[in-house]
């Protein structure tokens, strides 16, 4: 189950990156250099790309949370660091009193 979620998470991440890179640039030099007249970047395609990006982002977050919950069950409880310090203090010799 964990491996399936991990593969899905990687696939969602790659798709999300590609969708973000394909969207129309709002300004600046971060766009991929495609002209504004391209049919793929019309208003309806922009709305579709925005909705698809939101859906994939939501699926990515849900998959990440599920992966965290699934892998959390495999963690073994460990002792506290303070328990180890308390054990060592019992072995130390006591300071002799001055008479």
Mean pLDDT by 10 residues, the chain (99 residues): 91 95 68 51 71 94 93 72 60 72
**pLDDT score recorded for residue 53:** 93
**pLDDT score recorded for residue 97:** 81
**pLDDT score recorded for residue 12:** 96
How would DSSP label each residue in the chain?
-HHHHHHHHHHHHHHHHHHHHHSPP-SSS-S----TT-GGGSHHHHHHHHHHHHHHHHHHHHHHHHHHHHHHTTPPP---HHHHHHHHHHTSPPPPPP-
Domain residue spans in the chain? 2-89
Instruction: Provide, rounded to the nearest whole percent, the portion of the chain with pLDDT above 70.
Output: 57
**pLDDT score recorded for residue 19:** 92
**pLDDT score recorded for residue 1:** 82
């Amino acid at each position: 189950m964990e491996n399936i979620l991990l593969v899905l998470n990687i696939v969602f991440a790659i798709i999300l990156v590609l969708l973000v890179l394909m969207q129309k640039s709002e300004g600046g030099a971060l766009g991929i250099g495609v002209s504004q007249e391209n049919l793929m970047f019309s208003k309806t395609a922009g709305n579709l790309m925005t909705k698809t990006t939101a859906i994939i982002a939501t699926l990515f977050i849900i998959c990440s949370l599920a992966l965290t919950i699934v892998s959390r069950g495999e963690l073994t409880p460990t002792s506290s660091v303070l328990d180890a310090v308390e054990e060592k203090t019992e072995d130390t010799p006591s300071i002799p009193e001055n008479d």
